[in-house]
Protein backbone atom coordinates (compact mmCIF):
# COMPACT_ATOMS: atom_id res chain seq x y z
CA UNK A 1 0.00 0.00 0.00
CA UNK A 2 2.79 2.41 0.90
CA UNK A 3 4.37 2.05 -2.53
CA UNK A 4 1.04 2.88 -4.17
CA UNK A 5 0.66 5.98 -2.03
CA UNK A 6 4.26 7.07 -2.50
CA UNK A 7 4.50 6.51 -6.24
CA UNK A 8 5.04 9.85 -7.87
CA UNK A 9 6.32 11.34 -11.08
CA UNK A 10 9.99 12.30 -10.87
CA UNK A 11 11.46 13.57 -14.11
CA UNK A 12 15.16 13.30 -13.38
CA UNK A 13 17.11 15.61 -15.67
CA UNK A 14 20.84 15.24 -16.27
CA UNK A 15 22.77 17.59 -18.55
CA UNK A 16 25.48 15.03 -19.18
CA UNK A 17 25.42 11.23 -19.35
CA UNK A 18 25.60 9.37 -16.03
CA UNK A 19 27.62 6.24 -15.43
CA UNK A 20 25.13 3.44 -14.71
CA UNK A 21 24.75 2.76 -11.00
CA UNK A 22 23.79 -0.91 -11.28
CA UNK A 23 25.87 -3.80 -12.51
CA UNK A 24 24.48 -5.70 -15.48
CA UNK A 25 23.38 -8.50 -13.17
CA UNK A 26 21.63 -6.10 -10.79
CA UNK A 27 19.90 -4.32 -13.65
CA UNK A 28 18.76 -7.57 -15.20
CA UNK A 29 17.36 -8.65 -11.83
CA UNK A 30 15.45 -5.37 -11.54
CA UNK A 31 14.09 -5.64 -15.07
CA UNK A 32 12.96 -9.23 -14.51
CA UNK A 33 11.18 -8.18 -11.30
CA UNK A 34 9.42 -5.29 -13.04
CA UNK A 35 8.38 -7.40 -16.03
CA UNK A 36 7.05 -10.07 -13.66
CA UNK A 37 4.93 -7.41 -11.95
CA UNK A 38 3.61 -6.22 -15.32
CA UNK A 39 2.67 -9.77 -16.27
CA UNK A 40 0.71 -10.06 -13.00
CA UNK A 41 -1.76 -7.38 -14.16
CA UNK A 42 -5.30 -8.47 -15.05
CA UNK A 43 -6.17 -8.76 -18.74
CA UNK A 44 -9.42 -9.70 -20.44
CA UNK A 45 -8.71 -10.51 -24.08
CA UNK A 46 -5.79 -12.23 -25.75
CA UNK A 47 -3.78 -10.29 -28.29
CA UNK A 48 -4.73 -10.80 -31.93
CA UNK A 49 -2.83 -13.71 -33.47
CA UNK A 50 -1.12 -11.44 -35.99
CA UNK A 51 0.95 -9.89 -33.21
CA UNK A 52 2.34 -13.20 -31.99
CA UNK A 53 5.28 -13.50 -34.32
CA UNK A 54 8.56 -12.21 -32.90
CA UNK A 55 7.14 -11.94 -29.37
CA UNK A 56 4.54 -14.69 -29.04
CA UNK A 57 2.62 -13.81 -25.84
CA UNK A 58 -1.17 -13.72 -25.56
CA UNK A 59 -0.84 -10.59 -23.41
CA UNK A 60 -2.25 -7.49 -25.14
CA UNK A 61 0.91 -5.49 -24.54
CA UNK A 62 4.64 -5.60 -25.21
CA UNK A 63 7.59 -4.12 -23.38
CA UNK A 64 10.86 -3.05 -25.01
CA UNK A 65 13.71 -2.69 -22.56
CA UNK A 66 16.70 -0.40 -23.00
CA UNK A 67 19.48 -0.41 -20.44
CA UNK A 68 21.53 2.62 -19.41
CA UNK A 69 24.15 2.12 -22.12
CA UNK A 70 21.43 1.88 -24.76
CA UNK A 71 19.79 5.06 -23.39
CA UNK A 72 23.06 6.98 -23.59
CA UNK A 73 23.61 5.71 -27.14
CA UNK A 74 20.14 7.02 -28.02
CA UNK A 75 21.18 10.50 -26.85
CA UNK A 76 24.16 10.35 -29.20
CA UNK A 77 21.94 9.09 -32.00
CA UNK A 78 19.44 11.92 -31.43
CA UNK A 79 22.24 14.44 -31.57
CA UNK A 80 23.63 12.97 -34.81
CA UNK A 81 20.15 12.99 -36.34
CA UNK A 82 19.53 16.55 -35.09
CA UNK A 83 16.49 15.43 -33.09
CA UNK A 84 15.52 18.06 -30.50
CA UNK A 85 15.03 15.57 -27.67
CA UNK A 86 14.75 18.19 -24.88
CA UNK A 87 13.83 16.71 -21.49
CA UNK A 88 13.62 13.21 -23.00
CA UNK A 89 17.31 13.50 -23.85
CA UNK A 90 18.14 14.70 -20.34
CA UNK A 91 16.24 11.76 -18.89
CA UNK A 92 17.99 9.32 -21.22
CA UNK A 93 21.22 10.69 -19.75
CA UNK A 94 20.08 9.66 -16.27
CA UNK A 95 17.94 6.55 -16.75
CA UNK A 96 19.05 3.20 -15.41
CA UNK A 97 16.40 1.52 -17.55
CA UNK A 98 13.88 2.67 -20.14
CA UNK A 99 10.78 0.51 -20.65
CA UNK A 100 8.76 1.28 -23.76
CA UNK A 101 5.32 -0.26 -23.27
CA UNK A 102 3.00 -0.71 -26.24
CA UNK A 103 -0.47 -2.17 -26.58
CA UNK A 104 -1.74 -4.20 -29.48
CA UNK A 105 -4.91 -2.83 -31.09
CA UNK A 106 -7.31 -5.26 -32.68
CA UNK A 107 -8.05 -4.05 -36.19
CA UNK A 108 -10.58 -6.74 -37.13
CA UNK A 109 -9.37 -7.47 -40.60
CA UNK A 110 -8.47 -3.91 -41.49
CA UNK A 111 -4.97 -3.71 -42.92
CA UNK A 112 -2.34 -2.72 -40.41
CA UNK A 113 -1.25 0.78 -41.25
CA UNK A 114 2.35 1.60 -41.88
CA UNK A 115 2.46 3.87 -38.82
CA UNK A 116 1.06 3.77 -35.29
CA UNK A 117 -2.68 3.13 -35.82
CA UNK A 118 -4.15 6.15 -34.05
CA UNK A 119 -7.11 6.62 -34.03
CA UNK A 120 -7.67 2.94 -33.27
CA UNK A 121 -11.00 1.19 -33.58
CA UNK A 122 -13.15 2.22 -30.60
CA UNK A 123 -14.65 -0.93 -29.14
CA UNK A 124 -14.78 -2.89 -25.92
CA UNK A 125 -11.88 -5.15 -26.76
CA UNK A 126 -9.50 -2.31 -27.51
CA UNK A 127 -10.66 -0.39 -24.45
CA UNK A 128 -9.84 -3.43 -22.34
CA UNK A 129 -6.49 -4.09 -24.05
CA UNK A 130 -5.58 -0.50 -23.22
CA UNK A 131 -6.84 -0.80 -19.65
CA UNK A 132 -4.82 -4.00 -19.11
CA UNK A 133 -1.73 -2.26 -20.42
CA UNK A 134 -2.29 0.66 -18.05
CA UNK A 135 -2.59 -1.81 -15.17
CA UNK A 136 0.68 -3.47 -16.21
CA UNK A 137 2.43 -0.11 -16.36
CA UNK A 138 1.12 0.91 -12.95
CA UNK A 139 2.35 -2.39 -11.48
CA UNK A 140 5.85 -1.60 -12.74
CA UNK A 141 5.78 1.98 -11.40
CA UNK A 142 4.59 0.82 -8.00
CA UNK A 143 7.23 -1.93 -8.04
CA UNK A 144 10.00 0.52 -8.95
CA UNK A 145 8.82 2.79 -6.13
CA UNK A 146 8.83 -0.11 -3.66
CA UNK A 147 12.40 -1.00 -4.71
CA UNK A 148 13.46 2.64 -4.23
CA UNK A 149 13.92 3.72 -7.87
CA UNK A 150 12.52 7.14 -8.84
CA UNK A 151 10.38 6.76 -11.94
CA UNK A 152 8.29 8.54 -14.53
CA UNK A 153 5.52 7.53 -16.97
CA UNK A 154 5.97 9.63 -20.11
CA UNK A 155 3.93 9.62 -23.30
CA UNK A 156 7.30 9.41 -25.00
CA UNK A 157 7.67 12.70 -26.88
CA UNK A 158 10.23 12.22 -29.64
CA UNK A 159 10.51 8.49 -28.82
CA UNK A 160 7.10 7.91 -30.40
CA UNK A 161 8.32 8.99 -33.80
CA UNK A 162 11.07 8.27 -36.26
CA UNK A 163 13.98 8.30 -36.21
CA UNK A 164 13.93 7.52 -32.45
CA UNK A 165 11.15 4.96 -32.66
CA UNK A 166 13.00 2.94 -35.30
CA UNK A 167 16.23 3.37 -33.35
CA UNK A 168 14.57 1.45 -30.51
CA UNK A 169 12.94 -1.05 -32.92
CA UNK A 170 9.38 -0.34 -31.77
CA UNK A 171 6.97 -1.94 -34.27
CA UNK A 172 4.85 0.65 -36.06
CA UNK A 173 1.61 -1.35 -35.75
CA UNK A 174 1.80 -1.23 -31.95
CA UNK A 175 0.69 1.82 -29.96
CA UNK A 176 3.04 3.25 -27.36
CA UNK A 177 1.15 3.83 -24.12
CA UNK A 178 4.11 4.75 -22.02
CA UNK A 179 7.83 5.15 -21.98
CA UNK A 180 8.82 4.45 -18.39
CA UNK A 181 11.99 5.96 -17.07
CA UNK A 182 13.53 4.15 -14.12
CA UNK A 183 16.24 6.25 -12.52
CA UNK A 184 19.07 5.34 -10.13
CA UNK A 185 18.21 5.21 -6.45
CA UNK A 186 20.42 8.22 -5.70
CA UNK A 187 19.08 10.23 -8.65
CA UNK A 188 17.65 13.03 -6.55
CA UNK A 189 21.03 13.96 -5.09
CA UNK A 190 22.80 13.80 -8.47
CA UNK A 191 20.26 15.40 -10.76
CA UNK A 192 20.56 18.83 -12.35
CA UNK A 193 16.81 19.07 -11.77
CA UNK A 194 13.94 16.81 -10.69
CA UNK A 195 10.57 17.88 -12.09
CA UNK A 196 7.41 16.61 -10.37
CA UNK A 197 4.12 15.76 -12.09
CA UNK A 198 2.04 18.87 -12.88
CA UNK A 199 -1.20 17.30 -11.69
CA UNK A 200 0.20 15.65 -8.59
CA UNK A 201 -2.15 17.35 -6.14
CA UNK A 202 -5.06 18.16 -8.41
CA UNK A 203 -8.50 16.59 -8.08
CA UNK A 204 -7.63 14.30 -5.20
CA UNK A 205 -10.48 15.09 -2.76
CA UNK A 206 -12.42 11.82 -2.70
CA UNK A 207 -15.86 13.41 -2.67
CA UNK A 208 -15.08 15.30 -5.88
CA UNK A 209 -14.75 12.14 -7.96
CA UNK A 210 -16.73 9.50 -6.04
CA UNK A 211 -20.19 9.29 -4.54
CA UNK A 212 -22.58 6.76 -3.11
CA UNK A 213 -25.20 5.46 -5.51
C1 LIG B 1 -0.86 7.86 -19.81
C2 LIG B 1 0.03 8.88 -19.14
C3 LIG B 1 0.92 9.61 -19.89
C4 LIG B 1 1.71 10.59 -19.31
N5 LIG B 1 2.54 11.31 -20.09
C6 LIG B 1 3.20 12.36 -19.55
C7 LIG B 1 4.00 13.19 -20.37
O8 LIG B 1 4.18 12.93 -21.57
N9 LIG B 1 4.58 14.27 -19.81
C10 LIG B 1 4.42 14.57 -18.47
O11 LIG B 1 4.95 15.57 -18.01
N12 LIG B 1 3.74 13.76 -17.65
C13 LIG B 1 3.12 12.65 -18.16
N14 LIG B 1 2.41 11.82 -17.36
C15 LIG B 1 2.53 11.96 -15.89
C16 LIG B 1 1.51 12.90 -15.31
O17 LIG B 1 1.84 14.22 -15.63
C18 LIG B 1 1.51 12.71 -13.79
O19 LIG B 1 1.12 11.40 -13.48
C20 LIG B 1 0.56 13.69 -13.12
O21 LIG B 1 1.05 15.00 -13.21
C22 LIG B 1 0.32 13.37 -11.64
O23 LIG B 1 1.54 13.35 -10.95
P24 LIG B 1 2.02 12.06 -10.16
O25 LIG B 1 2.36 11.01 -11.14
O26 LIG B 1 3.20 12.53 -9.34
O27 LIG B 1 0.88 11.64 -9.27
C28 LIG B 1 1.63 10.81 -17.91
C29 LIG B 1 0.75 10.03 -17.14
C30 LIG B 1 -0.04 9.09 -17.74
C31 LIG B 1 -0.99 8.27 -16.89
Q: pLDDT tens across 50-106, in order?
A: 999 999 999 999 999 999 999 999 999 999 999 999 999 999 999 999 999 999 999
The pLDDT assigned to 117 comes to 79
Mean pLDDT, rounded, of the chain: 96
Residue to probe by mutation, ligand 1, list 153, 157, 193, 203, most atoms within 8 Å of CB: 153
pLDDT at site 115: 72
Look at residue 113 and tell me whether its pLDDT is greater than 90: no
Tell me the C-alpha distance between 116 and 89, whole Å.
22
Predicted pLDDT of residue 118: 83
Site to probe by mutation for ligand 1, drawn from 118, 150, 154, 194 as the one with most ligand atoms within 8 Å of Cβ, is 154
pLDDT at 114: 66
Looking at the predicted structure, is the pLDDT value of residue 108 above 80?
Answer: no
Q: What is the pTM of this model?
A: 0.97
Instruction: Name which residue sits closest to atom 3 of ligand 1, judged by CA.
Output: 155
Is the C-beta atom of 202 inside 6 A of ligand 1?
A: no
CATH class of 11-198: alpha beta
Q: What is the pLDDT of residue 107?
A: 83
Amino acid sequence: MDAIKHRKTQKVLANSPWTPSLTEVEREELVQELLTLAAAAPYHYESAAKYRTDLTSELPFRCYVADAVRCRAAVDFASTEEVQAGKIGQMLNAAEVLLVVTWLPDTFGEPVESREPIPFTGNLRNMEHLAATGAAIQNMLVGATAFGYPNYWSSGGVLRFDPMRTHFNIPTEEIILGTLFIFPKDAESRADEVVPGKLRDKGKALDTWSKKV
